Structure 1
Amino acid sequence: MTNESSTFCVGRFLIDAPAGSKLSGGNFKYDFLRIEPAKEMSSDQFTQEVAAREAKLRSAKHKVEPSLLRTAARPNEYSRIFAFWEESFITAVINIDGYRWVNDRRFLLKDEVSNDKQEFGLNRMQDALSRLRVRADAEIPAEPGYCFNGGFIANPKWRNEEAAIDIDIAGHPDAFVSVWIYPLASHKKDRPLLERMGGITQALGNLATAVRVLRKGDRQIGPYKGQEHLASAPNSGGMRGHAFVWETQGEGTLDMPAIKIELTTGHQDSNGNPQKTTLTDQQAIKLWDDILNSFRLRPTGGQVKTGAADGVPQPPLPLGELVATGKACPQTGWWQTSEPGEVEGGRRQRFVAGEAMPEATLLGQSSIWHRLKGDRPSYRKATVWKLVGYDEPSSAATAPTSPTPPAEGPRQA
């Protein structure tokens, strides 16, 4: 875009919008830790909040243990970590909440681990809190790390990230941009964007005549090969708006994630009333091209090695080695889940030594509505993985390691 633009940092990426545009929402997950929206508060308010939280957990009874609280940690004066049972009847999954207060702002990170991985979860949480700092929306960090609304986690490498933001476009109250990033091969759509959009158009029947397709086709943004679909259609008030989308399904890795970017105009106001768009088709397309072309990886000050740790090669583990969900992968290679049925990404998947073994995502039967949206019902289940093959030394592929895309993504048009 021109120099009259605002730059937004999301995860490891940057995107520009017209100057004065503002963030209006977002969902973030760093290394499997869900990041809650930050809250403004004093240090005294922070101390009172975490004390009240600890007291409530200690006073609540559990069916097996004395209380819901399993342990409370205090890494420093302004950090607290609680490991606890969410309900009195739960005995398999432990919740871990990490609090940190910095410069009149309280941050809260949330995690879930199996009951035999509590120490692992506590260490992961403490590491993330120690790297966290406040960040203004306009600040673009120069060092490696992960951006989220109001904060930054400085780190040269991590295993997983998800991010989703909304940006309200300055000067156009009916327009906003949404960005989703999730490096999950297991959530790759079964059909490319344009095929799915064609199926939706057929399902609309006679209503499809009200939709004007302004442009569609393959489109590459930097190294990311994707497709775009630009359409104009009436909103609920009978006024025309725009629904532009670009999507790349990625390769299921941090470097080549799945990405979706949307521009919506004619969106309803804060009272739920439909609005007339202030943009012509040509203006909307120009705005779209400027924003989409600005999407890029955030440059950092140095090259950081993100592969497996260097060292003397170790003898491979024997085939048939078993590892449960949540434990560290002991051997780079191909692992097969013990779960029957259809599994996202296949029952046989590749994992890298050191990363956490994931749950298996089992696929259910699709309803008509699921097929229209190009989605499929699924649920996660802890499993046991068996080593069934060794990796080739030259292989550069990486496996999916995260269970869910952003649970509550940005607004939908």
Structure 2
Amino acid sequence: MRKTRATLAVACLILTVAACDHKPAPLSQQEKQIVTELTANLKTRCVGRYLIDMPGEAVESGYAKIQGVSIETKAMTEDAWRQEVAQREAALKATKSRDAYPFLYEAGKARGENTYYFIHRGTIYNDPSRRYIEGYKWDRGYRFLLKIEAYDYLHPDQTDEPIVQKMTVKNGAPGKSAVVFSLLEKLRGRSQDDIPTEAGVCFTGGFLPAPAGNDEEVNAGFFNPTHMRDVIWSVFTSPDLLEDTTVSRHADSAEARAALKAMNGKDVRKGAVELSGLKATEWLYESLKPGDGRGDTFSIAANETTSRPATPYFSMELSTGGQYKVQGQFEKFDPPSLTTSEAVALWDAVSRTLRLRPGAL
């Protein structure tokens, strides 16, 4: 299972659920106040082809992979982008191969305004057939960095090798370069509050106009940089992931039961959830966390066994407590920033807003 699913632990046997569930206590007045403050300013965020309302102060990070090309963004000025590209070009040109073949094969403007690209060998230790294609673009205050690997067995000529002779395509660099160029031409910068109305894929700092299709995935995370830094949301969506089970059924598996027992964990809630036009399942549990503290792990997924371009898979996880690296130093959150009752209330306020973005397909 995908990473977000693999981190889930386990529920009790169906026949004994009532005996082992860890039902959160009713909210105290102080807890109600905390939840009210957290949910008073929910903001709509676009992830993939979905919308979900997150606490307004939560900062988004993440990346996308579309048509095999990884896409990262960073907020910066146009001047900073030009300086970054110039420094990258200088570094690549200064790198000398350990053999007779070039290290940097191509560099120059790609397709569209404010674009640039490089094709190089990655490291001096790589075979001369290896190619790394990097694409850069600046748009609306964001720098895009696109990367994909390819091979070229024609430059230098290695077609006398038996394994190369069996290959239908002996130079994959032109085809993959064309994909990168096409993406660079279409990508546009996007702030967190910018919700597109046309068909396409949202990811952190960017948007790709495109009809519903395959070979796309988006990973996003949301966290508060100033307080409650252990309250972390992780989101993943892709039309290409098709599970053979659901979150709630996985929670009842022998593997999950053993994992939850090892973490001294308890169920909070699990089962089917009806959202806005979506069928989903969820599993909420409390357990030991890294660093020997305790915390909550809540997960939900939609279109688990029916994922396709028109109904892409979506999963989200909320984690509290544990130990995290903050500004280069490990910080332990014990107790977690939210009680289980507060976490459940926040989870319900956010997770129930999941819906397909109008016009996204």
TM-score w.r.t. length of structure 1? 0.62
Deviation sequence 1:361-404 (CA, Å, 0-9, x none): xxxxxxxxxxxxxxxxxxxxxxxxxxxxxxxxxxxxxxxxxxxx
- Give the helix-richer structure, 1 or 2: 2
Superposition deviation, residue 267 in structure 1? 4.1
User: Residue in 2 aligned with 1:94?
Assistant: 131
Alignment equivalent of 1:107, drawn from 132, 144, 150: 144
For residue 80 of structure 1, the aligned residue among 97, 116, 127 is 116
Note closer, same or farther for the CA distance 1:59–1:282 as it changes in structure 2 (3 Å cut).
closer
* Corresponding position: 1:38 with 2:81: no
Deviations 1:192-240 (A, max 9, x none): 43454343454358646x4221211233444544421111224456654
1:56 and 2:91 are equivalent in the alignment: yes
Structure 2 CA distance for aligned equivalents of residues 134 and 158 of structure 1: 21
Tell me, yes or no, if the aligned pair for 1:92 and 1:114 is still in contact at 8 Å. yes
Q: Name the counterpart of 1:228.
A: 282
Gapped regions of structure 2 (runs ≥ 5) = 1-37, 153-170
Partner of 1:175: 231
Relative contact order: is structure 1 or structure 2 higher (C-alpha 8 Å, sep ≥ 6)?
2
Structure 2 residue corresponding to 1:138, chosen from 180, 183, 193: 193
Change (3 A) 1:215 1:122: same
Please report how far the alpha carbon of residue 262 of structure 1 lies from its aligned counterpart in structure 2 after TM superposition.
0.9
CA contact (8 A) 1:160 1:254 kept: no
The amino acid across from 1:81 in the alignment is Y
Q: What secondary structure sits across from 2:123 in the alignment? A: coil
Percent of aligned pairs with the same amino acid: 29
Which of these residues, 247, 257, 265, is aligned with residue 193 of structure 1? 247
SS at match of 1:283: helix
1:35 shift after superposition: 1.2
Q: Which residue of 2 aligns with 1:19?
A: 56
- Cα distance in 1, alignment partners of residues 72 and 135 from structure 2: 10
Amino acid at match of 1:107: F
1:16 to partner: Cα distance: 0.8
What TM-score, normalized to structure 2?
0.70
- 1:39, CA displacement in angstroms? 4.6
What's the counterpart of residue 331 of structure 2?
272
Q: CA deviation at 1:245?
A: 1.0
Q: What corresponds to 1:284 in structure 2?
A: 343
The whole-number CA distance in structure 2 between the counterparts of 1:203 and 1:218 is: 22
- CA–CA separation in structure 2 for the residues paired with 1:176 and 1:4: 17
> After the TM superposition, which of the residue ranges 285-294 and 69-78 deviates more from structure 2?
69-78
Retained in 2: the 8 A contact 1:250–1:257? no
- Work out the CA distance in 2 between the residues paired with 1:3 and 1:247: 25
Of residues 187, 206, 213, the one that matches 1:151 is 206
1:244 to partner: Cα distance: 0.9
SS of the equivalent of 2:85 reads: helix
Q: Does 1:244 align with 2:298?
A: yes
Q: Cα distance, 1:253 vs. partner? A: 2.3
How many residue pairs get aligned? The number is 297
Unaligned runs of 5+ in 1: 305-413
Distance 1:272 1:163 in 2: 28
Aligned partner of 1:387 in structure 2 is none
